[in-house]
Amino acid sequence: MAAKKKSTGNLQAEVLASAKAAKVEYIRLMFSDINGIPKNVELPVERLEEVLESGVQFDASSIAGFAEIQESDMILKPDPSTWAVLPWTTGDETTTARLICDVYKPDGTRFEGDPRYVLQRAIKKAAELGYNMYTGPECEYFYFKLGPDGKPLVTPQDSAGYFDVGTIDFGEQARRDTTLYLEKMGFNIEAAHHEVAPGQHEIDFNYGDAMVSADRIITLKWVTKVVAQKHGLHATFMPKPIFGVNGSGMHVHQSLWKNNNNAFFDEKGRFQLSTTAYNYMGGLLKNVPAITAILNSTVNSYKRLVPGYEAPCYMAWANKNRSALIRVPAARGKGTRLELRCPDPAGNPYLQTAVMLAAGLDGVRNKITPPEPVEADIYHMTPAERRKNGVGSLPGSLKEALTLLEESKIVRETLGEHIFEQFVTVKEKEWDAFRLRVHAWEHETYLPKV
C-alpha cells in the first residue's frame, strides 16, 4: 500500500519546476503551534531554492508551547513533499504556494517542541516493530453567519439536516468550493455532505499514511476557513458551539500495516479481526482516559462528550453500535480498521495521532485483550448495567482529563518532556480562565433567586 518515496533532491527539483511553471511569486512556510493552530512565514519565491536547502530562521518566542524568549531562534526546514500551490491565489491574485515545515534548533538538531516531530517519533517507534499506521479522519465543522461588524455570530448558515441538498443546505457551494480547492492541492476527497445539526458539515478525504493525514487535517481546516470568508461566512471546528444539537467530532479510522498487508485483518479470526487488531484496541481502551486531554483538548470539548448527541462518552467497543467509543466498520481485507469516535477537530492532529498510535502499540506490545463487545445502546443503560458490562466513562472535563494525562508514563514519553510540560501549563491556564469567569448560565440560574 505504501508508495515508494522519492529522494529529497528529486522532490526539491520538482518543487522548483512547479514554482516556475505556476509562476509562483510568494511561498508560505507553515507549521503549527501546540494547539494545532497553523502559523506561517511568507517569503518571495526568489528565496525558494535557498530555503529548500538551508531553511529559514524565525522567532519562536511568541508561539504557544514553543520556546522561552532566551532560546527563541528556530529554523523552519520545508518538507518538499508538502508543496502545494494555493488555488485561490491563482488568476488575478498574487500566486502563492505553501510548504509545511519541520522545526530545528540553530545547532541543527530537531526542536522537541515541534508537534510534527512528536508524530514522526511515534511513527518511527511503530516502524521498529514493523508497522506503518494509516488513518482516515472525518472532520466536522459549522458555517455561521457574520454580524455587521464582521465578527461571527452563533447563527447557523441554514436549518438543514443530515445529507440534505442545496435547496435547504445553503452552505453547499462553500463546501463544494472547499473540496475543489483541496483536490487541486492533492487531496482525494471521498465524501462531503451536510451533517445532522443546522449549519454543520463534514468533509472526508482518502485513508492513508498517518503523517500525510495529519498534514491534511491542518490544511483542510485552514482552507475551509479561507473559503468560508470568501462566501461571507465563518467556519468553526469548535466541538460544541450550540447547546442542544450535535457537536462536531473527528472520528479517526485507523489500522496498522505490515509488509504491505493490513495487520488488523485475519480471515479466520473472530469477526475476521487479527490478534494485533484486538491488542491495539485493548491498548486504546486502556489508555484512552489518559490521552483524552490530547484528543479533546479544549474546555468546550467536554460539552460534546455527553449522552444523547451521538458523541461517545462511554468506553466500550462494538461492531455496529455507534454509542460505543470504538466501532469496527464492516469492511474487511484491506479495509479492516477501527474507528475511534471521541477525538474532535479542535485539537492538534500531530499530537492526537501520536498518542492514539502510542496507546494502540502499548496494547500490541503487552498483548492487552479488550473486553467483550457491547452491541446494546449504552446511552440507555443504567449505571448498574454499565458497571455489569464493564463500561467506564471518559473524563467529564478538561481538568479531569489533565489529571489523568499527568499520571500517564506513555503520554509523557510520547510527547516528550518539553511538549508534555508546555501542554499541561497551557491547558491549566485555559481551565482556570474558564473556571474563574462568571457565565450567562449562572446569571440566569442564580441572579433571580439568590
DSSP annotation string for 152-195? EEEEES----TT--TTT-TTHHHHHHHHHHHHHTT--EEEEEE-
Residues 6+ positions from 397 with CB-CB distance below 8 Å = 299, 302, 431
Question: Catalytic annotation on 251?
Answer: yes
Question: In angstroms, rounded to a whole number, what is the distance separating the alpha carbons of residues 319 and 310?
Answer: 16
Q: Which helix (H) or strand (E) holds 225?
A: helix 210-230
Question: Catalytic annotation on 385?
Answer: no
Nearest 5°: phi and psi at 435?
-65, -35
* pLDDT tops 80 at residue 411: yes
Question: In angstroms, rounded to a whole number, what is the distance separating the alpha carbons of residues 313 and 331?
Answer: 25
Catalytic residue (one of 169, 204, 209, 339) = 339
* pLDDT tops 90 at residue 1: no
The cell numbers describing 231, all together, are: 462566501
* pLDDT tops 80 at residue 68: no
Q: How confident is the model at residue 4 (pLDDT cuts 50, 70, 90)?
A: low
Catalytic residue (one of 28, 194, 234, 251) = 251
Question: In angstroms, rounded to a whole number, what is the distance separating the alpha carbons of residues 28 and 101?
Answer: 10
Catalytic residue (one of 110, 121, 193, 322) = 322
* Phi/psi-derived region of residue 113, left when phi > 0, alpha when psi is between -120 and 50, beta in every other case: alpha
Question: In angstroms, rounded to a whole number, what is the distance separating the alpha carbons of residues 406 and 404?
Answer: 5
Question: Catalytic annotation on 339?
Answer: yes
In tens, the pLDDT along 321-355 reads 878 999 999 999 999 999 999 999 999 999 999 99
Q: How confident is the model at residue 13 (pLDDT cuts 50, 70, 90)?
A: very high
Domain 8-110 has CATH 3.40.1190.10: no
Question: Catalytic annotation on 112?
Answer: no
Question: In angstroms, rounded to a whole number, what is the distance separating the alpha carbons of residues 356 and 346?
Answer: 16
Tell me the CA distances in angstroms from 356 to 22, 213, 312, one per residue in order: 38, 14, 16
Question: In angstroms, rounded to a whole number, what is the distance separating the alpha carbons of residues 345 and 139?
Answer: 6
Q: Average pLDDT, stretch 143-160? A: 90
Question: Catalytic annotation on 59?
Answer: yes
Q: Three-state DSSP class for 257?
A: strand
Domain boundaries, the chain: 8-110, 120-442
Nearest 5°: phi and psi at 399?
-60, -45
Catalytic residue (one of 341, 344, 362, 418) = 341
Catalytic residue (one of 33, 112, 114, 140) = 140
Q: Which residue has the cell 494509516?
A: 134
Q: Do 374 and 389 form a contact (C-beta atoms < 8 A)?
A: yes
Question: Catalytic annotation on 413?
Answer: no
pLDDT the model gives residue 93: 76
Q: Average pLDDT, stretch 389-417? A: 95
Q: Three-state DSSP class for 253?
A: strand
Residues 6+ positions from 310 with CB-CB distance below 8 Å = 196, 246, 322, 323
Number of neighbouring beta carbons within 10 Å of residue 299: 17
Catalytic residue (one of 42, 49, 50, 59) = 59
Catalytic residue (one of 158, 172, 202, 362) = 202
Q: Average pLDDT, stretch 256-271? A: 96
Catalytic residue (one of 112, 195, 215, 266) = 195
Model-level pTM greater than 0.85? yes
Q: For the structural domain made of 120-442, what CATH number should be given? A: 3.30.590.10
Question: Catalytic annotation on 195?
Answer: yes
Catalytic residue (one of 33, 112, 114, 138) = 138
Question: In angstroms, rounded to a whole number, what is the distance separating the alpha carbons of residues 68 and 42?
Answer: 23
pLDDT the model gives residue 2: 47
